[in-house]
Structure 1
């Protein structure tokens, strides 16, 4: 997978985190990762598993699809829609299993 995707994803995480006035340390605590991991995610150096994507979105009070790079920032906009669809399905399954 293109490492550019992870950099763009990290940019979105940082933007949302800063918009919500959440520090890297606070986000790390909420998703049970180290602050260094959050730094690496935001810089696109650390890959993120789907369950981590969902946890990060929850911790930022956002939809997982909000963390996905915009179609204009990718060469293949269909990839964003496909990934967002999968993430939303997983989120729905997770909320049903929590009940």
Structure 2
């Protein structure tokens, strides 16, 4: 059964794809610029995988944008921490 993308991964992937296309950069060119395998770039853009912070920064730099721009509009409630105790 295919894995359903998380809403956060799908959102970030769409932002990466839209920015890449606006810059008229191919997936293969972005992969070359970032030294990230093109299959990983495609997985990020489709929402099948979540880029690490390191990869997100490399992608942002290659696309001449900021990591914040790629995260813009992300619903932070998706990352709510449940249970456990606060440190301190």
Contiguous gaps of at least 5 residues in structure 2: 80-88
The match for 2:52 is 49
The structure having more radius of gyration, on CA atoms, is 2
The match for 1:94 is none
The match for 1:97 is none
Instruction: State how far apart, in whole Å, the 1-side matches of 2:23 and 2:13 are.
Output: 15
Higher helix content, 1 or 2: 1
TM-score, with normalisation over the residues of structure 1?
0.68
Q: Which has the higher contact order (CA 8 A, sep 6+)?
A: 2
Return structure 1 stretches of 4+ with deviation > 2 angstroms: 74-77
| Aligned-residue CA RMSD (Å) | 2.0
Contiguous gaps of at least 5 residues in structure 1: 80-99
The match for 2:77 is 76
Matched residue count: 75
